[in-house]
Amino acid sequence: MNDHALEVLEFERVLERVDLRAASEPGRARTRSLRPSIDPTYVKRELDRVTAVQRLVEDRPEWAPGPIPDVGEEMAQLRVDGAVLESIGVHRLGVLLGRSRGLLRSLSGENAFPELGSVTERLVDLNDLEDLLHRSVDEEGAVSSRASRELKQIRDRLRGAQTRIVRKLEAFLGTLPDRFLVGDASVTIREGRYVIPVRREGKGEVGGIVHDESQTGATLYIEPPVAIEATNELRGLEREEAREIRRILGELTERVAAHRLEVKGAFDALVDFDSLHARARAARTWKATAPD
């Protein structure tokens, strides 16, 4: 069927109505890519698959497969030797594995649908890997202290170093004459360094490094000499933390890469099902049935 015929039939508008019911952008894209076919085998297969999901939707109208994270970029990275995934990518892959396991469970056992074998045979249950990814990276995409003992130790030392710097600066503030102090002065951070707000005329008394100033220029944010060495130690611990995070992400990337083809298959199956689910929901709304 040529493009002009599809345009006359407003086929794209129909697909737009259907893809609104998909749970994720990959599923919407799959639905928008659909085109009519004149292959009877393919047409019957697709009608049977949509009808099977229709039965599922009718039996469990409140059930939904959940959004599918788009892991296309992560899958491309996994094909490159030595690549290291970003932490947010690791989180997305953990969510993907959870979606795969959940859908496989929903479509198995007493709830099995033979027509959906092309979906279920690609889904995977990699529970150990899924748990590892969720334990290592939180929902915000940050590497968790639970990811390794070394990371937890480094972060404990970091918190201790931060506390010591703040206490030193608070004590230093207490030694300054009132004429140099800003109202409600407290320790703050500028350019990643711990500083105290001081009136401009107190700069010579405080010494150290000016990292910022107020809009009027009356207040300077100064890192006094008493804090410089301690902050340098803090920067060293932050570099240790970054190296450990990089090591953890490298190990996680290797673990996922060992199952790359299985993960890719699960992603494709989830996208396939998302499109089927959108079509089935549209069919239910329109009271549609598959023709003989």
Listed residue (61, 127, 69) closest to 96, CA to CA: 69
The mean pLDDT of 172-195, rounded to a whole number, is: 86
What confidence score (pLDDT) does residue 109 get? 76
Q: Does the pLDDT value for residue 201 go beyond 90?
A: no
pLDDT band of 249, cuts 50, 70, 90: very high
- What is the helix (H) or strand (E) element at residue 189, kind and residue range? strand 188-190
| Euclidean distance between CA atoms 131 and 137, whole angstroms | 10
| Tens digits of residue pLDDT in 14-56 | 999 999 999 999 999 999 999 999 999 999 999 999 999 999 9
Rounded CA-CA distance 163/150 in Å is 20
Predicted local confidence at residue 111, as pLDDT: 66
What does the pLDDT look like over 209-234, one tens digit per residue? Answer: 888 888 888 889 999 988 888 888 89
pLDDT tens for each residue of 12-23 = 999 999 999 999
